[in-house]
Amino acid sequence: MTGQTEVKIAPSILSADFARLAEEIQRVEAAGADLLHVDVMDGHYVPNLTIGPPVVAALRRVTRLPLDVHLMMTNPDAFLKDFRDAGADSISVHVEVVHHLHRTLEAIRSLGARPGVVLNPGTSLVLLEEVLPFVDFVLVMTVNPGFGGQRFIEACLPKVARLRRMIDERGLDVAIEVDGGIGQHNVRALVERGAQWIVAGSAVFGAPDPGLAVRQLRAAALGVASPDGESGEAVPTAV
């Protein structure tokens, strides 16, 4: 199990109200969010379109939180510098789409951003073996990417545990990020298996009070009493 200080909450702006985006970001920042997760979708690699570097630049102007930019694109290499210049602090790319992954990860680092690699639910951890030493984090998708509000895929729980063992056996300092269908009901199970960066969209911005939702999610992740007085302990799920 990971230590409490390693858990970071990363609200995903995919589920935010873009008409009030600055206000919503300020609420989660004040509530103690650690990162802002930014999903970039190109309509080719995933069946949805979202945002580009100008929106990331606008986010940079309204928050001091690190911007965690997840590129769901067929040609991420062409946009790495644009997103870094716009203010991205970490940039992750999909192992399924990048042809020269080592070169891409090194390019991200050379730009001054933290490099990460992403795996879809159906992608094997075997594809990480040669690049783990070159990443700062691995993002395990716990839904199929493309849309917010999807149901968590339970088969991803043992995958996170296997990845944690893979990282620890190599003695690497690599964080595990998880994204998709995560809320108070299942976040503890993910943390117990080694997840450290928790991405949550609907569970935060779909709540009446996004700030309170951030605090409740953190409490649930750590298994402590939540701000509303209820236990944050999740029901155990077998690996």
* Residue 145 pLDDT class (50, 70, 90 cuts): confident
Instruction: Please write the tens of the pLDDT for every residue from 72-121.
Output: 999 999 999 999 999 999 999 999 999 999 999 999 999 999 999 999 99
Confirm whether 179 is a catalytic residue.
Answer: yes
Q: What is the DSSP letter of 201?
A: S
For residue 39, indicate whether it is catalytic: yes
Higher-confidence position of 8 and 238: 8
CB atoms within 10 A of CB 105: 22
Catalytic hit among 34, 39, 68, 136: 39
**Tokens, residue 25:** 């970001």
Q: Judge if pTM exceeds 0.75.
A: yes
Query: What per-residue confidence (pLDDT) applies to 198?
Result: 98
Q: What is the pLDDT of residue 61?
A: 96
Interval 216-227: pLDDT, tens: 999 999 998 777
Catalytic one of 68, 85, 179, 209: 179
User: What are 132-135's contacts with CB under 8 Å, separation 24+?
Assistant: 132/166, 132/167, 132/170, 132/172, 132/174, 133/170, 133/172, 134/102, 134/105, 134/106, 134/109, 135/105, 135/174
